Amino acid sequence: MRVPRQKRLLDRDLLDTYHHMACLVCGSKPSDPAHIQSRGAGGDDTDQNVMPLCRRHHTEQGQIGITTFANKYLSVKLYLESKGWYWDEKNKLRKM
């Protein structure tokens, strides 16, 4: 028996809000609402799962991965921790 996939939460207003924020890395505007847990991995459009990144830094984050990206930019790591994210003993990003 096939289990139906849970429908992803989409919050257009939240995404629009993040679009007007400054990039966490360089401060430029507008920003992409970048998902911490990707939409493909089931990440929802919630305040705890979105961060503002300019297009350049959003692309970089997608290319090198969230853990490497957060280790490269302290501002991102601190932001993630403030939203309740942490790294487990296997260096995997987890939500508290």
Q: Is residue 5 part of a domain?
A: no
CATH number for the domain spanning 82: value is: 1.10.30
Q: How confident is the model at residue 86, as a pLDDT?
A: 95
Indicate whether 3 belongs to any domain. no
18-49 burial: b if 16+ Cβ within 10 Å, else e: beebebbbeeeeebbbbbbbeeeeebbbeebb
What is the domain extent for residue 64? 12-95
Residue 62 lies in a domain: yes
Q: What residues in the chain have per-residue pLDDT under 50?
A: none
Cis peptide before 30 (omega within 30 of 0): yes
Looking at residue 38, its pLDDT comes to: 87
In the chain, alpha helices (H): 12-19, 55-64, 66-72, 74-82
As a whole number, the mean pLDDT across the chain is 91
Kindly state whether residue 41 falls inside one of the protein's structural domains: yes
| Domain assignment present for 25 | yes
Within a domain: residue 6?
no
pLDDT of amino acid 7: 60
**Counting Cβ atoms within 10 Å, is residue 87 exposed (0-12), middle (13-18) or buried (19+)?**
middle
What pLDDT is stored for residue 65 in this prediction? 94
